Structure 1
Amino acid sequence: MSVIWYECKVKYRKTHETGEQKVTTDTYLLDAVSYTEAESRITEEMKAYTNEDFRIMNIKVANFSEVHPFENSDRWFKSKVSLVALDEESGKERKTNIYLLVQANDVKEAFENTTKAMESTMGDYSIPAITESPILDVFPYFTGEEEQLEKFGVVENAEASEEMNVEGEI
């Protein structure tokens, strides 16, 4: 069973650095097996963020194939990756687009992190677009340390920061 990611928009009163309180709508990403579980999980996660009342404004299925967090990064970027394959019947190249959510500090770093995430890919690919995502935080489902390692494949990258490749089977 593949991981299904849900984008959840939540409206709540947020205290800014200046001490001023404003009502904002923020977007969060989490994995769940259904809309009902997504609603339950975002409710639990938001209780940790705010003591104020909040409203879940929208929940929708996100089209991310993989999510790649990187340490020391504070923003999320949506990377469009075109996988190139040769159609044996027609002899023409076929492109299939997938979308990755990659954590980085800017677009250049998002491109580099997308390239790192695609290192194990055997086929050809290109990265035609990278855009900043409105997603503030990602809440993957973890049941425990051992299961986390088995299910999500924690890998050390060259800078000795942990990269979690959140894809595949659960």
Structure 2
Amino acid sequence: MSTIWYECKIKYRKTDEATGTQKVTTEPYLVDALSYTEAESRITEEMSAYISEEFKITNIKMANYAEIHPFENTDRWFKSKVSLMAYDEESGKERKSNMYLLIQANDVREAYDNTVHVMKTTMGEYAIPAISESPIMDVFPYFSGEDGELEDLEKFNARKNSKPEIIKESDFEDPMEFETALEEDKIEA
């Protein structure tokens, strides 16, 4: 059975960390569910763990994602449009069918690379005509409690919740050192 994802919009008061003021915000989340009723129940349960104050579910709609792929050390979600190419022998024309993947990455370039990584086992031809940042804040997959699924859920959450590494300026080599070493080699020769 294929997974059905529902996009749920949650409205609540959020405290701005910089100023300390509260403002009303609406954020979309994704849940894996079998029906709208289950999606409402699941998002209420999931958000109760994160939001201590009152919140309101303002919208629930079926999302059109074929697959969801979290990656380690990333913090944003991107919607990748993938066009699968197939040759129709009867008409002699090439047909395209589109699917959308939700890919976790830090920027568009990394989202493209992650999409290519996900699609590398695809036997047919494909193209990636569009990648855009998704407003999705978090993804909550379904978990039935079976042993095999526990490990999969832990892996999914570990990847999803890992934070990007922050690179310090001291980690980069000084480009002037490299150029100076090249100039010294030319003088010696």
Question: Which residue type is aligned with residue 20 of structure 1?
Answer: T
Judged with a 3 Å threshold, the aligned counterparts in structure 2 of structure 1 residues 54 and 98 are, in CA distance, closer, same or farther, namely same
1:88-144 per-residue CA deviation (whole Å, 9 max, x = no partner) reads 111111000000000000000000000011111100000000010010000011234
Q: Which runs of 4+ in 1 moved over 6 A?
A: 149-152
Structure 2, unmatched stretches of 5+, are 161-189
Matches of residues 1-170 of structure 1 in structure 2 within 5 Å? 1-18=1-18, 19-144=20-145, 146-148=147-149
Distance 1:15 1:49 in 2: 13
Distance 2:52 2:150 in 1: 32
Q: Structure 2 length as normaliser, TM-score? A: 0.78
Distance 2:120 2:147 in 1: 25
User: Percent identity among equivalent residues?
Assistant: 69
Q: Structure 1 length as normaliser, TM-score? A: 0.86
Quote the RMSD (CA, aligned, Å). 2.1
SS where residue 143 of structure 1 aligns? coil
Q: How many residues align?
A: 157
Higher helix share: 2
SS where residue 53 of structure 2 aligns? coil
Larger radius of gyration: 2
Higher strand share: 1
CA contact 2:9–2:58 (8 Å) conserved in 1: yes
Structure 1, unmatched stretches of 5+, are 156-160, 164-170
SS where residue 147 of structure 1 aligns? helix
Question: Which residue type is aligned with residue 17 of structure 1?
Answer: E
